[in-house]
Amino acid sequence: MKHLLTSTQSRRAVLKGAAASTALAFEGAFGAAIAQGADTIKIGALNVYTKGYGVFGEAAYKGMMLYLDENNGMVAGRKVEILREDDEFNPQVGLQKLRKLVESDKVQVIMGPLGSHVALAMVDYLRANGTPWICTGAGATVLTKLRLPNFFRPTVSNWQVAYAMGEWAAKNLAKDAAIVASDFVTGHDIANSFKESYLKGGGKVVKEIYPPITATDFSAYISDLRASAPGLTYCFFGGTDAARFVKQFDQFGLKGKSTLVGFQSVLDTDTFSGQGKSAVGGISSGIYSELLDTPENKVFVERYRAKYKAMPGIFEETGYSALRCVDEAAKAVGGKIEDRPAFLAAMAKVSFVAPRGPISFDPVTHQAIQNIYIRRAKEENNQIVNEVIDVVRQMGDFPGNKA
Amino acid sequence: MSAAAKSNDLYKWLAALALAIIIPVLFAGSYSLGLITETLIFAIAAMSLDLLMGYGGLVSFGHAAFFGLGAYGTVLLAVKLGFSVWLSALCGISVATVAAAAIGFFCVRMTGVAFLMLTLAFAQLIFSVGVKWRAIGGSDGIGGLVKPDLFLWSLADPLTMYLFTLAIFALVLVAMRRLIASQFGHALVGIRENETRMRAMGFATQQIRLVAFILAGFFGSIGGTLYALYNGFVSPDALSWGMSGMLLLMVVLGGAGSLMGPAIGAGVFLLMKHFVSSHTQHWLLVVGVIFVGCVMFFRQGIWGMLKRQAGGSAP
Amino acid sequence: MDLILTQTLNGLVYGVLLFLLASGLSLIFGLMGVVNLAHGSFFMLGAFCGLSVIKLTGSFWWALLLAPIAVAMVAIVIEVFFLRPTYARGKLDQVLLTFGFSFILTDLTESIWGREMFGLDEPDLLDRSVEIFGSIFPLYRLALLGFGIFIAIVLWLFIEKTRAGAMVRAGVDDAHTAMGIGLNVPLLLTATFASGAALAALAGVVAGPLLNVFSGMDVEVLIPAFIVIVIGGMGSLKGSLVGSLVIGMADTFGKAYMPELSMFLIYLAMIVILLVRPHGLFGHQSASM
């Protein structure tokens, strides 16, 4: 009960903050500078909140709000105001909104986005501008190669997750695989990382299919897949496509014949609702599972369920832990988040046990070093959940990124 | 128009120009400056569409093709082939203009809904290339354009970018106003009102429409090129029918057939997008309702309303 | 062989979906001259209404009946209060109006149902796969195929054999004559717009199990439906049917055998038809644009 109370209070505080910032934004447009309360930390949550991917942006936001609730809406003793902006999964819009957050709202930290293409469009601007950027979704392997001193990724790198699966799948599942991935940079990034490691583990790739992201229906590709009858099918799709693919994979009778293996977002809490029982038995690698049997995770899941009446998934945990990274670093510099060099140096040293397990940052690339879990979807109390069947401990960043 | 009225007009424009330069330079923070720059860029694109829509009576649902081609040409040549950015920009505009000539050759045979569908189809054709061709970035687009220097100043500086865009905007505005006041402009409007009569009077109506189409493409691609310079990257969204629809919205919002109207429409639309969308999830509803309202009750758009207000007090 | 057969079936299923959308779109244009850019929204709204009906009643079949009725009501409001006052102004105002409504309906859908993606399950009766000549195919898709044929026949009988259908035909041919011989044209227009919307909603419900239900599904089908009616011919039922099947097949085989080019070729076909036969393959001359 007490917990619920703080939750509404802090939400009200945020709402009040939002109203104040409306006034600020309009003032800003006409050039009048208004002195801001120096004690508030403003964080820009730039992410996709609409269209087919909106659920993931929302998930990260929910995780952040839960963390704030637990800490009375504060980070390092300072009130936090989260400003949400929707990038519409469109790099042009993302850049517009980024400028607004940085130049008009004067946020101290940017968190987000989900889309790697949006993130890549943001790189030049944030490199020049220097605002600390905590990535909560975009997994493009190359992002940590770009060496932005102000960029940290306390979440997945595509390479980490897909590479961990490759060798494991070759050893434990089957020696021949088909790869199906959406035809855009992320799809190829993930497919290549998996392939490299799968071949290394002694597997053979018999077919590769790259459907366009505009594909409405996957039946044509699935029919094509069945003709080559691989022992396992490794797939990556984003948003609504992931749900459709998994469902149709089942409907066309492939599920019994070829093991469905996927990237973390293909089989996760947010997609299970659209996939239903078709997802059961699907194996995926990911940085988190809601069934992790650790004290940190149990507390997290319990609180998350109390607040939102649903199970958390990868992006909820990411939002939660990413904000904790900011909190830890801010505490280390005594709350002086405006001292960028000190804050960034403190970020690089952040290390703690998150619900997902121990995380720390690669000192060179700023990629999170973390466990990768091999998960199997199962049905439990009329709910689909991911049980952990194996762990690849403390995966680092893609070696090529450090060169 | 009397000479006195004409010089009076000139003073008004000079005053507007002076305000346009002084106010942002003195008062605006860099964000507002960026926002105004963006408004000017889209104002150019919306005005170019207005040439077709307002004056030619041809509603295009594919104007993004030229906007996007200008942007793509600029980024691709500079980033992939290492051309100087200014040369790339000129090439981008040229490519888009040539494309406008080729596409226009077919489209101007139609009017009304057929024209709308045909422009949509051509734009989607180009969009499909932008999305599928991985060598030019595919659906992720392409970035890394280094902002060039303009004499002593770098376009990376928001103020330089703004002043540069303002200069181009002023040039485009003057050029388009002259065009519309010219014999060509009158002929275009005449064709919109009654094509049969114009043809009977000896006007080559299809050719005139084609010229309008090419010019619209040319000016539209200038907007696209500026957009690429401003953002430093381009993605297929710049070619999409969503972009075409957005330009259409701006024109209708501001009032078709007035040039200044679409420019104002662009400003109002972007302001709404930036401020309404930050504070309510229902920004689409706001846009939709205003748009429907404009079509139903204020066919002359915001500019038409302003003019009517002003017209009431002055003769 | 196995592959070609399944691909063909897939192409036909996609064709049926397109037909349900395009037939309404085509009639609305043929009779009313309205290019309805909100047609995708009706499709989406239908799917979401279906979702709610299933949640309430637990029955897919009720959704099939009630969702189109609900969407038809929305369409009637739009036609009577917004489109009707603008008919005198020419065709373009209605394009713009329906474009505006597509924004409004998207926002309303998101406000009512949210931005998540929802699964819409097929009826239990059809939730299984069957073997045809050695390949496995979901029974629901086969049923959808049959349903499409059924709807096509019903529509054909309606237009060719009933008095109301005769009015529609007369209206497509020449609205002025139709008015002259005493048809109640405003009522006819409202009924056409509502039925077109209902068909789109029906498409939304039956597409749910294939595509899932989410905000944004409207955009995915709108352009393909337009390609269909451009190719088949505005105002022609036969054209919508043939066009849907052609595009359904071309899309399915194109994706499988030349994924890089299929989109490009379909738009190219659309352009060629628009230029060579502006009234489409089966369109009535007078119903051309």
- Map out the domains of chain C as residue ranges: 2-114+140-287
CB contact under 8 A, B295 and C100: yes
| Nearest CA-CA distance, residue A117 and chain B, Å | 5
pTM of the prediction?
Answer: 0.84
Neighbors of chain C by Cβ distance (3+ pairs < 8 Å): A, B
Q: What is the pLDDT of residue B208?
A: 95
CB contact under 8 A, C260 and B132: yes
Chain A residues with CB under 8 Å of C227 CB are none
What digits encode the pLDDT tens for the residues B26-43?
666 777 888 889 999 999
Question: B145: which 2 tokens?
Answer: 């354009």
| Topology annotation, domain C2-114+140-287 | ABC transporter involved in vitamin B12 uptake, BtuC (1.10.3470)
| Nearest CA-CA distance, residue A243 and chain C, Å | 8
How many residue pairs bridge chain B and chain C with CB atoms within 8 Å of each other? 111
Question: Kind and range of the H or E element at A393?
Answer: strand A383-395
ω into A341 cis (within 30 of 0): no
CB contact under 8 A, A91 and B35: no
Give the position of tokens 């065709």.
Answer: C91
Q: What is the mean pLDDT of residues A220-230?
A: 82
CA B266 to chain CA centroid, Å, is 9
Best of B129, B231, B241, B280 to substitute, by most chain A Cβ atoms within 10 angstroms, is B231
Best of C39, C271, C272 to substitute, by most chain B Cβ atoms within 10 angstroms, is C271
Best of A100, A118, A123 to substitute, by most chain B Cβ atoms within 10 angstroms, is A100
| Nearest CA-CA distance, residue B38 and chain A, Å | 9
CB contact under 8 A, B274 and A100: yes
Return the exposure string of C59-69: e unless at least 16 CB atoms fall within 10 Å of the residue's CB, then b. Answer: ebeebbebbbe
Return the DSSP state at B240.
S
Please tell me the distance from the alpha carbon of residue A36 to that of residue A16, in angstroms, as a whole number.
15
Chain A residues with CB under 8 Å of C117 CB are 52, 55, 239-240, 243, 271, 273-274
Residue A259 in this model has a pLDDT that exceeds 80:
yes
Give the position of tokens 């000079």.
Answer: B14
Please tell me the distance from the alpha carbon of residue A221 to that of residue A205, in angstroms, as a whole number.
16
Q: For all residues of chain B together, what is the average pLDDT?
A: 88
ipTM: 0.86
Please tell me the distance from the alpha carbon of residue B15 to that of residue B36, in angstroms, as a whole number.
18
Residue of chain B minimizing CA distance to A213: B139
Question: C2: which 2 tokens?
Answer: 């196995």
Chain A, 198-237: which have a CB under 8 Å from a chain C CB? 210-212, 214-217, 219-221, 223-224, 226-227
- The beta strand positions in chain C, using DSSP E, are 129-132, 135-138
Chain B residues with CB under 8 Å of C82 CB are 292, 296
Please tell me the distance from the alpha carbon of residue A374 to that of residue A259, in angstroms, as a whole number.
14
A293 and A390 in contact (C-beta within 8 Å)? no
- The secondary structure of A21-88 as a DSSP string is HHHHHHHHHTT---PPPTTPEEEEEEE--SGGGHHHHHHHHHHHHHHHHHTTTEETTEEEEEEEEE-T
- CB contact B139 to C (< 8 Å): no
Please tell me the distance from the alpha carbon of residue C265 to that of residue B132, in angstroms, as a whole number.
12
Residue of chain C minimizing CA distance to A248: C210
How many residue pairs bridge chain A and chain C with CB atoms within 8 Å of each other? 106
Question: Kind and range of the H or E element at A103?
Answer: none
Q: How many CB atoms lie within 10 A of CB B14?
A: 10
Q: How many CB atoms lie within 10 A of CB B183?
A: 7
Between helix B241-254 and helix B283-297 the angle, nearest 10°, is 50
Neighbors of chain B by Cβ distance (3+ pairs < 8 Å): A, C
Chain A residues with CB under 8 Å of C210 CB are 217, 244, 248
Return the exposure string of A63-91: e unless at least 16 CB atoms fall within 10 Å of the residue's CB, then b. Answer: bbbbbbbbbebebbebbbbbbbbbbbbbb
What digits encode the pLDDT tens for the residues B245-303?
999 999 998 999 989 899 999 998 988 887 777 777 777 888 889 889 988 888 888 88
A211, A247, A275 ranked by CB distance to C255: nearest: A211
C2 and A227 in contact (C-beta within 8 Å)? yes
Residue A3 in this model has a pLDDT that exceeds 80:
no
Best of C74, C108, C267 to substitute, by most chain B Cβ atoms within 10 angstroms, is C267
What digits encode the pLDDT tens for the residues A263-292?
998 998 878 887 888 899 999 999 999 999
- The beta strand positions in A168-273, using DSSP E, are 176-181, 204-209, 232-236, 259-263
Q: What is the pLDDT of residue B185?
A: 95
| Topology annotation, domain A2-29+36-156+293-366 | Rossmann fold (3.40.50)
Q: What is the mean pLDDT of residues A359-382?
A: 94
Superfamily of chain region A160-286+372-401: Response regulator (3.40.50.2300)
What digits encode the pLDDT tens for the residues B97-126?
999 999 999 999 988 888 999 999 999 999
Burial status of residue B289 (CB atoms within 10 A of its CB: 0-12, 13-18, 19 or more) = middle
How many residue pairs bridge chain A and chain B with CB atoms within 8 Å of each other? 97
CB contact under 8 A, B118 and C271: yes
Low-confidence ranges of chain C (pLDDT < 70): 1-2, 174-183, 284-289
- CB contact A239 to C (< 8 Å): yes
Q: What is the mean pLDDT of residues A212-221?
A: 73
**Gyration radius of chain B over CA positions:** 19
Domain ranges of chain A: 2-29+36-156+293-366, 160-286+372-401
B97 and B214 in contact (C-beta within 8 Å)? yes
B273, B275, B281 ranked by CB distance to A26: nearest: B275
Residue type, B255: G
Question: C231: which 2 tokens?
Answer: 């190719």
CB contact under 8 A, A220 and C253: yes
C44 and C218 in contact (C-beta within 8 Å)? yes
Residue B5 in this model has a pLDDT that exceeds 80:
no
Return the DSSP state at B123.
H
Neighbors of chain A by Cβ distance (3+ pairs < 8 Å): B, C
Please tell me the distance from the alpha carbon of residue A307 to that of residue A10, in angstroms, as a whole number.
13
Which positions ≥6 away from C222 have C-beta within 8 Å?
A: C37, C39, C40, C43
Which positions ≥6 away from B180 have C-beta within 8 Å?
A: B51, B55, B188, B259
Chain A residues with CB under 8 Å of B233 CB are 91, 95, 121, 124
- Please enumerate, as own/partner, the contacts of A103-107 that have beta carbons within 8 Å and a separation of 24 or more: A103/B29, A103/B30, A103/B31, A103/B34, A104/A24, A104/A25, A104/A28, A104/A29, A104/B29, A104/B31, A104/B32, A105/A21, A105/A24, A105/A25, A105/A28, A105/A42, A105/A44, A106/A36, A106/A42, A107/A42, A107/A43, A107/A44, A107/A83, A107/A131
Please tell me the distance from the alpha carbon of residue A138 to that of residue A315, in angstroms, as a whole number.
11
Residue B96 in this model has a pLDDT that exceeds 60:
yes
